[in-house]
Copies of this chain bind each other. A is one copy, B any other.
Amino acid sequence: MVFLRRRLIVLVLLGLALATNPDAGRVQADEGMWLFNNLPRQQLKQKYDFEFPAGWTEHVMKSSVRFNSGGSGSFVSSTGLVLTNHHVGADTLQKISTAEHDYYHEGFWAKTPGEEQKALDLELNVLQSIEDVTDQVNMAVNAEMSASEAFVARRGAISTLEKQSLDKTGLRSDVVTLYQGGAYHLYRYKKYTDIRLVWAPEFAIAFFGGDPDNFEYPRYDLDACLFRAYEDDKPAKIEHFLKWGKTAPDELVFVSGHPGRTSRLNTVAALKYTRDTQGPMLLDWLRRQEIMLQKFAQRSEEQSRIAQDDLFGTQNSMKAWFGKIGGLQDPEIMGRKEATEKALRAKIDADPKMKTAYGNAWTQLEKTQQVRREIATQYNVLEGARGFESKLFDIARTLVRLAEENEKPNRERLTGFTEAGRESLELELYSTAPIHDDLELTKLTDSLGYLLEKFGGDAPLAQKILNGKSPAGRAAELIGGTKLKEVAERKRLAEGGKKAISASTDPLIQLAKMIDPEARAIRKKLEEQVVEVERQAYAQISKALFELQGDSTYPDATFTLRLSYGSIKGYEEGGNKISPMTTMGGTFDHAAKHGNKDPWALPESWHKHKNDISPDTPFNFVSTCDIIGGNSGSPVLNRAGEFVGIIFDGNIQSLVGDFVYDERQNRAVSVHAAAILESLRKIYGAGALAAEIGR
């Protein structure tokens, strides 16, 4: 499933390196995650004879929705209905479920507006405008500054721009670093925070085939659910929403969504860091998480329910990373990256002026990989909080930092603690989403053990953290002793500021305080010795590319709105032709092929209404559109900008898309628009809801 886990965004920070594809300007493949203010008009004209009609891009942009929990979606009615994937809605489904009502598993349907269930901490963003602020950001930095000074000055300039924009427009305002510093754009969003669940199918059909079928094709998944955005306690009135449309194989389609992260221009040195250090560390950690969650879930049905969304997310990330590392371990793929880099460097070296201006970038980027390697463990454990895996610890750290950051001028604050981001921070901090002591305890015990393993049991910092106890003993003390489960206590501490934090005897607050100097120090090291140096070096590479290829390139994904294009098309795998579409009727055959056993056991509703549905209704399809994690829930559109499907996955071959797009086999997997309506009407008896869609 191609969505992002938010916590993972933090955890994989060490891998962050945004980039552009040096080949992008010239390829005729359906490649690219294009900026809405720099669309591939020429390519679309050449390959598909398509020109954007007037209003098309604004309409699509304002119909597209970002789920801040890690996915995409779209407005599909004037009455505020938002369509996304079940697995994007899962975060909310999990949080509103209880031991009595497991909506995550059983599905949900609000037959009346009054039954719609409010999400506890969900924020949706709808892009309103993009402004190029590259000059303003770069003005803050000058050549005399050290990397350290430059980082702070740049961050300050960005915070100020965001704050000014928020004050002026009232819109959420984020400055996005594109082309690794080649450009800075200010994105302004309309924000919705009163989001209610309307309908979700059963997990068994939303994720039919489970982990074994994940990232595979053919597929038969109804990975969809519906929310509704509210304003002032009433369904939001939506001007731009998508109408249902049609498409057919080989016809041009678009994907408008929020790809999370790609690394296509990463230098070979950076890719080798991912291959040899970051990837293996992350995979070991994900395996550890999966095993821990499995064992936890096995103990009882309630524990299984509590852990299910975490477990899914972990398995999903693991399979995705497994595919990525597999790509980097394939000499053919790495060979292509090496050849491309070599060719680019040869061109630069051939021109003395370019050589002086840009030729040193690769050496700089080799050095930063070395720093990454040196600090990876320390960073992941402390600042990435892999040593303190617990929602309550995250809350404690946020409170500790909030108190400290609040005392600084806005432009000097850590990212995430500035005034422009305050509302979003509080939405999460004061969430009433359930926190389960037993899961917290299991996670924290395991991660304190991880910390001991990584630091060594004799390390003074480890001993200070463990405080003379075993991981299990220390975790029990921390989780048992904290009061941070109470939202009122969080508010008290947040409002009490530094004084309240200093006076707090909460053991988790004390732990977060105790390790914060070390965590901040390693973060500073990353920012100053890696992030800023890489920004400047990649900016050089990007400039070289602009010079050589013009601006007809796309930047690497940044969890901001992008447009991809392609067509519905099968592919070959191991000599077999994979057909692009499946049908709803085929679902029953696929289940039978696997003995109708979990995870191929269909829900009762499907068995019951087997004869009601039209078996030929298209169910899932693949397209050549270029997507990545974060695109989950993105609408697939036809030439007319009408909704024809919803992205929910990529095939196994798409996973190397992090580094390289290959049209031969890379495919995005979608639920077909027709299947959503057919199941709402025939299986879920939700004809009225189906009728509301598109109107």
Contacts of A318 in B (CB 8 A): 291
Q: Is the CB of B325 within 8 A of A211?
A: no
A449 touches which one: B210, B211, B329, B466 (CB < 8 A)?
Answer: B329
Closest to A319 in B: B295
**Contact digits for A37-49, partner B, Cβ 8 Å, 1 yes 0 no:** 0000000000000
Q: Is the CB of A457 within 8 A of B287?
A: no
Asked if A469 meets B331 with Cβ closer than 8 Å, knowing A284-B284, A453-B276, A457-B275, the reply is yes
- A421-B210 Cα distance, complex, nearest whole Å: 48
Shortest C-beta distance, A569 to chain B (Å), equals 25
4 smallest A-B Cβ distances: which pairs? A330-B470, A280-B453, A287-B287, A212-B298
**Contact digits for A543-559, partner B, Cβ 8 Å, 1 yes 0 no:** 00000000000000000
Contacts of A331 in B (CB 8 A): 466, 468-470
Q: Is the CB of A212 within 8 A of B295?
A: yes
Find residues 307-341 in chain A having any chain B CB closer than 8 Å to their own CB.
318, 325-326, 328-332, 334
- A458-B331 Cα distance, complex, nearest whole Å: 10
Further 20 A-B residue pairs, CB within 8 A, beyond A326-B472, A329-B452:
A212-B295, A212-B298, A276-B453, A276-B457, A276-B458, A279-B453, A284-B284, A284-B287, A284-B288, A287-B290, A290-B291, A291-B318, A300-B594, A325-B449, A326-B449, A329-B449, A329-B470, A331-B466, A331-B469, A334-B457
**Can you identify 21 A-B contacts, CB atoms within 8 angstroms?**
A210-B298, A275-B452, A275-B457, A276-B452, A276-B456, A276-B457, A276-B458, A280-B453, A284-B288, A287-B288, A287-B290, A287-B291, A300-B594, A325-B453, A326-B449, A328-B457, A329-B452, A329-B471, A330-B473, A331-B468, A332-B470
Q: Does A144 contact B (CB under 8 A)?
A: no
Contacts of A472 in B (CB 8 A): 326
Q: Does A301 contact B (CB under 8 A)?
A: yes
**Contact digits for A454-471, partner B, Cβ 8 Å, 1 yes 0 no:** 001110000000101111
Find residues 455-493 in chain A having any chain B CB closer than 8 Å to their own CB.
456-458, 466, 468-473
Asked if A272 meets B458 with Cβ closer than 8 Å, knowing A211-B295, A291-B318, A453-B280, the reply is yes
Q: Is the CB of A326 within 8 A of B470?
A: yes
Q: Does A352 contact B (CB under 8 A)?
A: no
Shortest C-beta distance, A293 to chain B (Å), equals 12
Which residues of A are in contact with B by a Cβ distance under 8 Å?
210-212, 272, 275-276, 279-280, 284, 287-288, 290-291, 295, 298-301, 318, 325-326, 328-332, 334, 449, 452-453, 456-458, 466, 468-473, 594-595
Contacts of A290 in B (CB 8 A): 287, 291
Shortest C-beta distance, A620 to chain B (Å), equals 20
Interface of A is mostly: helix
- A330-B318 Cα distance, complex, nearest whole Å: 30
- A332-B468 Cα distance, complex, nearest whole Å: 8
Q: Is the CB of B595 within 8 A of A301?
A: yes
- A453-B326 Cα distance, complex, nearest whole Å: 11
Contacts of A330 in B (CB 8 A): 470, 473
- A579-B595 Cα distance, complex, nearest whole Å: 42
Contacts of A449 in B (CB 8 A): 325-326, 329
Closest to A453 in B: B280
Closest to A318 in B: B291
- A210-B449 Cα distance, complex, nearest whole Å: 25
Shortest C-beta distance, A593 to chain B (Å), equals 9
- A452-B328 Cα distance, complex, nearest whole Å: 11
- A471-B330 Cα distance, complex, nearest whole Å: 7
Closest to A468 in B: B331
Contacts of A326 in B (CB 8 A): 449, 470-472
Contacts of A468 in B (CB 8 A): 331
Shortest C-beta distance, A59 to chain B (Å), equals 43
Contacts of A301 in B (CB 8 A): 595
A272 touches which one: B284, B288, B457, B594 (CB < 8 A)?
Answer: B457
Contacts of A275 in B (CB 8 A): 452, 457
Asked if A212 meets B291 with Cβ closer than 8 Å, knowing A328-B457, A468-B331, A469-B331, the reply is no
Q: Is the CB of A457 within 8 A of B298?
A: no
- A211-B456 Cα distance, complex, nearest whole Å: 29
Closest to A473 in B: B330
Contacts of A279 in B (CB 8 A): 453
- A452-B330 Cα distance, complex, nearest whole Å: 11
Contacts of A298 in B (CB 8 A): 210-212
- A295-B212 Cα distance, complex, nearest whole Å: 7
Closest to A276 in B: B456
Contacts of A466 in B (CB 8 A): 331
Contacts of A288 in B (CB 8 A): 284, 287
Contacts of A470 in B (CB 8 A): 326, 329-332
